[in-house]
Structure 1
């Protein structure tokens, strides 16, 4: 995104009230259908995709992962259709090479082959970060929301920071690791804390401040290069978007669409606030990190930290407040009914972590959980 001569508030005023675009990147695990261990088959699975769909796939870091990317969308129904197509095609390609495509955010049993995909960049990351680059694979859901200016994108990232732990709790979908319940709703969220360039976005004054911060982190070795800015929200390096990366991959398409609708509304609400010169809430970094750890630990089955009141509150109270906060943007985009229906379903059935634990209680162990997850990965 090029810098403009306008201030972020002036840019926000020109785009506030317009339809905001949304796109979703989803990472999946390839699992052996007998052992349910990770299967290092991503290259073969990508080759098995139809050519038109292969253009919507991306090479991922680990050989047991497969990433699919939606086109830029203006409506949630359009997004739902593309995500269903992506998941169905990827599942068929996985089956063609002897694997199951599973929307689960952390390696549930084991991964014998922890090598990285053979690219110079991935090998450089492996050398630089050492053993943490070879932890068992983790899968996220990355939501891109259109923001046409980098200065504005920086201010949007500042504004949405207090709400991202709630988004993290909604998407928590990785309670199992190494064959056991970790006690955390999102083991992915916990495990990623080992990476020095992941976590909450720092509060930044401007795009110049962003560039200076990244340069300093690269100089210290925390980041290998500028592309290693992997904060939970960031201005995309490739697209005119804000990318929200905090979520686990969602078990179903409907869950992914729900979260995309909420995140789009959250970004649109931030843009409106910037246009109205409302300052971003001040959040101490230590409390923000604590809120994210708590969200990964508890999911929706307990309390989350209200970063405005600096107090623990029931998770669903904060979800309801998030919806109230972004309500005008939901109405603006025609997303109110879809988001409301999705939250009713989520309140009734629980997030991915709750559903996995309920499946485990049936007595089939982690393989039984994964069989159910594989079945719903391609459901509507």
Structure 2
């Protein structure tokens, strides 16, 4: 049986190359780029909530080599598009420098501003969303219910947002703290079935709190537009290899969960409140401190928890041909550090947050 397809969406900051400050040129970048319109698979360049952002998407991929190549290509395409306007693209979860973001001129976003106020202003954050193919909504929900304990480690390994409005936040992923301000964001309880998931979504919409189904901002959900399960917990990764690692682990988690469901295995009995604690710890220290271990829900070194995650999905990784690559990619990020560690190292070396932003800017082809 061939491996499930996997695709990745990445959000980026648009920066002034000279100052490192975000630039509100998202709409102009898209207008000037001939291939900006995404295709049916979601690949291409799109705008985002704020004009200081740009989003890319890969096509569904079977192999990690294919995914890595597409991630590098889409990053290069975004950098080239921004360069036409004299801007740079940077994979940063938050802006290191102070910024007053501007909302993109889209009617839906205007409604969000009216309803959520300053929460919208604060959402100049960039994440990484992984889509894994599923055969049905029932299969997807079975996977959603079973991957819950392992989502926080994915945030830890992707952490790339330590600075907020010109200061060190004390978190490796402050983006996750900002994102949690949405009323529909974060960890979730098991749904039990596709019908249970649909009833949950319909119930959320019936409260008239969020605008639409697109604002059901759970850490993982069923995609509205594609036959995929979408994991949304990660920061945009500083290094494309880290995005490949996150995607491989997500695919392994989905496949392992579906196999467990088919074998009659139950849903792991962990409270949603504990998952919130696990996510907070992951965002606080990334891979440099302790995470909550899903086997005990007690603190353990991040490397041990990530190793346990790989062991949990080992059979799926082996059958997809991903195990060797995942072992190497995980060893790489643990050795060199996450994007958050890179940002702090640049700040320590230069004393400049502008240098932090400039260091992350992707070279224009």
Fold conserved between structures, TM > 0.5:
yes
Task: State how many pairs are aligned.
Answer: 361
**Aligned residue runs from structure 1 range 301-380, under 5 A:** 301-375=288-362
1:104 matches 2:88: no
Structure 1 unmatched ranges of 5 or more = 1-16
Give the Cα separation in 1 of the matches to 2:34 and 2:314: 39
2:240 matched residue in structure 1: 253
Q: Contact 1:132–1:195 (CA<8 Å) still a contact in 2? A: yes
Shift of 1:81: 1.1
Aligned match for 1:188, one of 175, 196, 211: 175
The secondary structure found in structure 2 opposite 1:278 is coil
Counterpart Cα distance in 2 of 1:327 and 1:42: 41
- Provide the rounded CA distance (Å) in 2 between the counterparts of 1:181 and 1:151: 43
Pairwise CA distance, 1:58: 1.9
Distance 1:303 1:315 in 2: 5
Paired residue for 1:26? 10
Pick aligned residue for 2:31 from 47, 54, 58: 47
TM-score w.r.t. the length of structure 1 is 0.91
**Aligned to 2:268, what secondary structure does the other structure show?**
coil
Q: Counterpart in 2 of 1:170?
A: 157
**Cα drift, residue 80 of structure 1:** 1.1
Deviation at 1:220, TM superposition (A): 2.1
SS at match of 1:78: helix
Q: Secondary structure at the match of 2:117?
A: helix
Deviates more, 1:38-47 or 1:141-150: 38-47
Q: 1:229 to 1:171 in 2, by over 3 A?
A: same
Q: Which residue of structure 2 aligns with residue 72 of structure 1? A: 60
> Hey, what does 1:57 align to over in structure 2?
45
Contact 2:36 2:45 in 1 (8 A): no
**d(CA) in 1 for partners of 2:32 and 2:326?**
34
What residue is the counterpart of 2:121 in the other structure?
Answer: 134
Structure 1 residue 157 and structure 2 residue 144: aligned? yes
Q: Which runs of 4 or more aligned residues in structure 1 lie more than 6 Å from their structure 2 counterparts after TM superposition? A: none
Distance of aligned partners of 1:238 and 1:366 in 2 relative to their CA distance in 1, 3 Å threshold? same
How far, CA to CA, are the matches of 1:355 and 1:35 in structure 2? 19
**Residue 136 of structure 1, CA deviation:** 4.8
Aligned to 1:4: none
State the partner residue of 2:78: 90
The answer to whether the Cα contact below 8 Å between 2:99 and 2:165 also exists between their aligned partners in 1 is no
Residue aligned with 1:231, SS: coil
The aligned residue for residue 224 of structure 1 is 211
Taking a change above 3 Å as real, the CA distance of residues 349 and 131 of structure 1, as seen in their structure-2 partners, is same
**What residue in structure 2 maps to residue 240 of structure 1?**
227
Q: Any idea what SS the aligned residue of 1:51 has? A: coil
Residues 110, 136 of structure 1: 8 Å contact kept: no
Q: By how many angstroms is 1:216 displaced? A: 2.0
